Amino acid sequence: MFSECPHPRPHPRPHGHINGIGKELASILYAANAKVYLATRSNAKTTAVISEIRKAHPHSSGELIHLPLNLDDLSTIKASTEQFLAAEDRLDVLWNNAAVMVLPQGSTSVQGYELQYGVNCLGHFLLTSLLHPVLVKTAKEDLQQRGNSVRVIWVSSSVADQVPKPAIDFANMDYQSPDEGIWTKYARSKAGNVLQAVEYGRQAGKDGIISLTLNPGNFLTGLQRTMPKWQVALFKLVAQDPRNGAYTELFAGLDESITQKDNGGWVSPYGKLEPVREDLRDPALGRQFWKWCEEQVQPFL
């Protein structure tokens, strides 16, 4: 998969907690001599992970670069993208990989959004919107060579399949009337990622960009840090090696069998294209959620 790549290519990848799948993904890419931007909140933790990956692959000619990114504060994201764009003039694959999950009730982002909507949906939406021009530029450059190589990957979850209908309740985005359970809130945010992937594929496909969403699988990562201990214990019984989740993300981001016909598609573990749940492919719902996201991030563009 990597041997045909003639030179290190930028692979910026937002990731809130650089462990688990994100760490494995970065390690595999770096071992294949890729240039990888790790966009995270924690400088100290990311620096330690970068050092660990470099030691594991001493002969790599790739690069690992930390890009500060705080997805729960929309006012800070533009500065992160400006820092990236000051250093790079192309972007091959954007993995929207960061997430928060099943947080204490009442958790909100800096701007006051329910935190899972704020980070999982709005943070990634703003980041992708700000990076869209460089994605388009890169896709045009690559069209002459092979095409289908520039991609945006919206990491969702299996819980998106269990979200109640309608998947997005536009009359209750702040969960004030009525409130909902923490797992339902998480499922709605992950369904939001599916809607974003499908709609972005509709819009950006004409520019040569492929947009996919995926379920990486079940893994014990930093996402479970807020879960009760008994739930974590149960989760360990079904959790798999995070490296397998990285394989799912690598397939979505790099596999050459994926073409424009797959745009807006769903990738299941560990590299299988499947149909998106029917209501999450509804163009009207996708456009409505996209418009809502646009309205929320407009002041921060």
Positions annotated as catalytic residues are 156, 186, 190
Q: Quickly tell me which residue has 């990597």 as its tokens.
A: 2
The whole-angstrom separation of Cα 76 and Cα 141 is 30
Nearest to 70 by CA among 11, 118, 138: 118
> What one-character DSSP code corresponds to residue 40?
E
CB 30 within 8 A of CB 56: no
Output helix, strand, coil percentages for the chain, rounded to the nearest 5. Answer: 50, 15, 35
The whole-angstrom separation of Cα 284 and Cα 239 is 36
Nearest to 290 by CA among 193, 150, 174: 193
Most distant CA pair in the chain, distance:
57
Label the pairing between strands 151-155 and 93-96. parallel
How many of the other CB atoms lie within 10 Å of CB of 176?
Answer: 8
